[in-house]
Amino acid sequence: MKIAYFTLDAHHLTAAEITHGDDEPWAFLPFEDQKADLDALTDRLVLLRGEKGGFAIVDAKARERVLEVRAPETHRLRWYLAPRRRSVFVVETPDKETHSLCGLLELPIDGGPARHHLLPSGFPVFTLAERDDAKLVCGSRMGCMGIFDPDTGVLERHPFEGYVMGFNGMLLLQPKWFSPNGRLMLRPHVGSVIRDAGEDGGHPDLKVDGHVRYGVAIDVYETGPIRHVTRLILQYLTGEELYPSVKRMPDGSWPPGLLASLGVLNALAEAQDYRRWDGVSQLLLTAAFEKDPQRQKDCERLDEQVKHDLLERVNQVRWADDSESFDVLLKGWRGGPGLQRTVRLTGEVREAAPSKWSTDRPPLPSEASFKRLRADISKRSVQRIAMPDVTPPALLAVCEEMARRVEGGLANVLFRDVLEFRYKRRGERAKGMDETAFFKLVRALPEQEWIGFVPPLRRLMDSFGRQATKHKCTGNYWITGGGEPETWRAALSEAALTLAEFDPNAFEVLRDWFRTDDQEHDNFPANSVFPAIARRSGFATPEAARFGVWFYIYQWQNVFFDSGGLGLLEACKRHWKAEQFALVAAEEARRVSEHEGPSPSGFTDDPSATMLGQLVSGSSSWEITVRRALETHWPKKPPVKFGGPG
């Protein structure tokens, strides 16, 4: 069986091709909402690992999925393939608030019935491995490991003796890097700081040059019961190699900051001689909540330094099949490529060489598969509408068809959160015109033709807005109109602009469309569509002015248009007295706050921090009264609650 795959950058998807025996190649998308990696499980089963934490297993002979599990929206899925049990184990998260993990879902890869395994409460599982006796090693961030027997449901707990649960070490020290037989695991050495000068024991990094070097090490443990086996020094680094960006001073000496950092490492090395370490006690990553704020700050600073200098230099580990040695990928020097070397459990360390891991590429799919997949994606990601000519009746019929398709269900016309229309005239060989060109023709029509286009455009924008605000994006952060990422606009931007120019009441159906826009990256709605609404409506009615007030509260970026030249302030003064206006603004602010606001930081409880505050920042008595009234009526954020009930 041959497996080939490649990322289609324009769509952030993976194109895959699997050839089983003498069969024709099977070209497909592993996932339609994320990239993936592929690995062979058997001579016909292939594992698809999605970048968002989900996975699937496909049968290359039958060309079908036999198993698929998607990650919950709020966090990445934790799962493990257990080859000996021919099952995938998924860590279950029953509590969305605390992510308290207390169960395993066993999914046989042959399609057999699933089994739920309950674990005792208070034992959160974050890593899994399978031992050679088919029991599972369950790693926790709470300083312990468990050995779970799926056949009996028995969980044996084994704590790490001497473990100090500092909040900087929970992730770094969780059990990981398990050997293929599941009997051994590795974790960064936190019992001492290793410092050496000169040649010692034949380590390839040590040289007789008078330089002091600091060791990057890992500890090897048996998985159950937990027992420290040995410490392996993976790499030695001089002070200059620890801090490659620091330059010597003009007189050749090191700056005081570097000397202070090395002084910290020297003090730690003297506090615990690494040669006399007892295999249990923990010197590093012990910062926890302290009564003395300064002591806690000092401990945190110490943790950050040793993480940077020593503990975070191991990027990855690949065990040999015999569980007697492993290849380790270490952080490169001066931003260069990572270094790779082989380390044996006996303590033998081979010379380091530039890593080839980052350059390892799977075979590429054939050109025929590429073309087939691109054609399929193009067909599904673009809505094509034929039209006989560009006369007003033909253009109107196209707008009617656009409305009909969106009303038929947004999910039916979206692909990868893209809604793109193209229009092709009869006999045309080219791809046809895009939405910009099409609606430019529509807006160029005589004004007496406009009224006929208003009903289908209102249907189109109303239906899209109502559905889009409920749509959960999987490929992008917002629904776009296609094209390259650097030119993305909100979907149906040209249709929204056309309706804004044709209909003085377009604001009635465009509010939800504005809510679907990514203000941080797309300024078209604010710079083009809203000014068109202002010009066409003149904010002549209280309803139109109220929409303008909402927009000024909702908009937090891309405010490059002349907000004072659109006539909204004058219209508000005509429609409302100052106190009435403040009540209207407060109602619209509550409408915004119900959706938590468009800004990443959420809704603001300070009206002066919004565009509305800028609108009424003048010195007239009306504006002064409005600002005072807004302080009273403006909605406030609810107080943040800490702790649980009671």
What is the residue extent of each domain of the chain? 180-356, 376-504, 538-646
Least confident residue range of 56-60, 86-90, 145-149, 596-600: 596-600
Highest mean pLDDT among 167-171, 305-309, 435-439: 435-439
Residue 201's pLDDT is 63
Q: What are phi and psi of 607, to 5 degrees?
A: -60, -25
54 close to 77: Cβ distance less than 8 angstroms:
yes
pLDDT, tens digit (0-9, with 9 covering 90-100), for 497-538: 999 999 999 999 999 999 988 877 888 998 899 999 999 999
Cis before 446? omega within 30 = no
Helices (H) and strands (E) in the chain, counts: 16, 25
Cβ within 8 Å of residue 368, ≥6 positions away: 25, 27
Going by pLDDT thresholds of 50, 70 and 90, the confidence category of residue 644 is very low
- DSSP assignment, residue 365? P
Going by pLDDT thresholds of 50, 70 and 90, the confidence category of residue 98 is very low
Q: Is residue 97 predicted with pLDDT exceeding 60?
A: no
Residue 641's pLDDT is 43
436 close to 488: Cβ distance less than 8 angstroms:
no
Residue 9's pLDDT is 65
pLDDT, tens digit (0-9, with 9 covering 90-100), for 229-246: 999 999 999 998 898 888
pLDDT, tens digit (0-9, with 9 covering 90-100), for 586-609: 999 888 887 655 555 556 777 887
Q: What does the alpha-carbon distance between residue 321 and residue 179 come to, in Å, rounded to a whole number?
A: 8
pTM over 0.75: no
Q: What does the alpha-carbon distance between residue 231 and residue 188 come to, in Å, rounded to a whole number?
A: 10
Q: What does the alpha-carbon distance between residue 134 and residue 136 come to, in Å, rounded to a whole number?
A: 7
Q: What does the alpha-carbon distance between residue 317 and residue 180 come to, in Å, rounded to a whole number?
A: 12
Q: Is residue 195 predicted with pLDDT exceeding 90?
A: yes
Residue 537's pLDDT is 95
* Strand arrangement, sheet containing 144-149: 127-130, 136-139, 144-149, 154-159
Which of 100, 50, 37, 122 has its CA nearest to residue 79? 50
Q: How much is the mean pLDDT over the chain?
A: 86
Which of 163, 159, 181 has its CA nearest to residue 172? 163
Q: Residue 394, SS3?
A: helix
489 close to 517: Cβ distance less than 8 angstroms:
no
Q: What is the mean pLDDT of residues 423-446?
A: 89
Q: Is residue 71 predicted with pLDDT exceeding 90?
A: no
144 close to 160: Cβ distance less than 8 angstroms:
yes
Q: Is 446 exposed, middle or buried (0-12, 13-18, 19+ CB in 10 A)?
A: exposed
Output the six-digit token pair for 417. Answer: 């959160």
33 close to 475: Cβ distance less than 8 angstroms:
yes
Higher model confidence: residue 346 or residue 33?
Answer: 346
> What do you get for the CA distance between the two ends of the chain, in Å?
60
